[in-house]
Amino acid sequence: MAHISGTANITAADAIFMHRALELAAQGVALATPNPMVGAVLVRKGKIIGEGFHTYEGMRHAEIVALEAASKQPPENFGGIVGGVFKLDKNTEAASGVLTPEALNANAFMESDAARGATLYVNLEPCCHKGRTGPCTNALILAGVKRVVAAMQDPNPAVAGRGFKHLRAAGIEVVTGLREAEARRLVEPFAKWIVSRRPLVTLKSALTLDGQLVLPHARSSRSHRKPRARRPLDNGWITSLESRAEVQRMRHASDALLTGIGTVLVDNPLLTDRTGLPRRRKLLRVVMDSRLRLPLKSQLVQTADNDVLVFTLASENSPKARALRAAGVEIVHVAGRGGKSDLRAVMAELGRREILSVLLEAGAKLNSAALAAGIVDKMRVFLAPKIAGFQGIAAARNGFQAPCELHNVTMAQFGVDFAIEGYLHDVYRTG
């Protein structure tokens, strides 16, 4: 349980407004990266007067959007719960938040008393350094905010408590730790990357009750391999429609999807984000292909649009590599040993590209290699009420170096399936 510091006077209203801040932060999914998702709610006399969330393209931080929104409120709306005055802007090409960018003035809040004496609820510590924008702490002080309730400290070493210190030095009451667990989950990809410059890796798998990845005789009709006799069973899917919709949401929340060439050859997948929700940049589709066997006629290659990346041990200048490159696929040579690519080097390269989160959707071989290499931070396994029998394919083959135990385990139900999620690593560990 998170420790709440700063005051003993936490109220039910504080919890409600922090919940709203977390909801707003989540609207930055796929829009804030490589920055953290942040939502902010400005409250005066018990009512919301401004709110906002951060997107990378919009530049302005959530706290600033909330201050600007408050400055545009007519006096009669002070104390009015958010309604018609606010309009969600989903245009990823423009500044995003609660008000449309045309209605916002970057300096309006400095000329307004709207936020004077207000409380700010925010899921992440306000920044106190100059990056692409100025320090949010300065803006809050100038606006006359009297109290800040923040769910968690910023894991960025450039902030890491300094923002709170700056606010307290200016006489602002600071409360921390309210709904911290939820806030940490929202920010965990950024937390992993900002300290290690490596992405957060989530291994996703779907299993039958007897631990199989594939139903007997199941295969894709688009496979590049010889067809096998097939017994239809829910169209060959292990999991329910509800579980598969959740996987699409997981893809939407990820910067990259990683798979192995074996999966591509057997299933010929698209590996796309099919939620239809806006995202700042396309989901990067990454394939581990040591011998460069990716078919030119595969769906991945046929739909490549600067969003397919192949890591290989093969020559980058071979005829196959040139053909793939001409089709829009990026080829990167990676170091390896014994015919196996160095997955740690792959994560370093993805981190260099500001990829904060990777969803691993692969077969037994790559799953085992990833776990053995220690690159997997968390796992999410969907268990379906089906039995594959001995002809199925296990989730991971030989390659585990030691038994694994998940921590902070949670469970959720999707249709008839259960999803178990847990962590292998503390992504907030700095040592």
pLDDT tens-digit series, residues 3-42: 676 655 788 999 999 999 999 999 999 999 999 999 999 9
Q: How many angstroms separate the CA atoms of 282 and 198, rounded?
A: 19
Least trusted range by pLDDT, from 66-75, 250-259, 410-419: 66-75
Mean pLDDT to the nearest integer, 187-201: 96
pLDDT higher for 312 or 9?
312
Q: Give the pLDDT score at 354.
A: 97
The CA–CA distances, whole Å, from 207 to 142, 216, 240, 270, 361 equal 55, 13, 12, 21, 13
Q: Give the pLDDT score at 175.
A: 94
Residue 380 has pLDDT above 80, yes or no: yes
Q: Give the pLDDT score at 54.
A: 92
Mean pLDDT to the nearest integer, 79-88: 35
Least trusted range by pLDDT, from 118-122, 209-213, 308-312: 209-213
Mean pLDDT to the nearest integer, 133-157: 91
Q: Give the pLDDT score at 231.
A: 44
Residues with active-site annotation: 63
390: pLDDT confidence band, cut at 50, 70 and 90?
low
Mean pLDDT of the chain: 84
Residue 96 has pLDDT above 80, yes or no: no
Q: Give the pLDDT score at 101.
A: 32
Residue 53 has pLDDT above 60, yes or no: yes
Mean pLDDT to the nearest integer, 222-240: 58
Element holding 285 (H helix, E strand): strand 284-288
Q: How many angstroms separate the CA atoms of 153 and 297, rounded?
A: 48
Task: Determine contact, residues 25/39, Cβ cutoff 8 Å.
Answer: yes
pLDDT higher for 163 or 212?
163
Q: Give the pLDDT score at 82.
A: 36
Residue 68 has pLDDT above 80, yes or no: yes
Look at the alpha carbons of 82, 95, 184, 381 in this order and tell me if their dihedral is positive or negative: positive
Closest by CA to 188, choosing from 151, 232, 141, is 151
57: pLDDT confidence band, cut at 50, 70 and 90?
confident
Q: What is the largest CA-CA distance in the chain?
A: 73
Least trusted range by pLDDT, from 14-18, 382-386, 400-404: 400-404
94: pLDDT confidence band, cut at 50, 70 and 90?
very low
Which stretches within 159-302 are classed as H helix?
162-169, 180-196, 241-252, 261-267, 299-302
Q: Give the pLDDT score at 111.
A: 53
Mean pLDDT to the nearest integer, 264-287: 96
Token pair recorded at residue 253:
């929340």
pLDDT tens digits, residue range 248-275?
A: 999 999 999 999 999 999 999 999 999 9
Residue 325 has pLDDT above 60, yes or no: yes
Least trusted range by pLDDT, from 127-131, 156-160, 307-311, 390-394: 390-394
**Residues shown for the chain:** 431
| Rounded percentage of the chain residues whose pLDDT exceeds 70 | 80
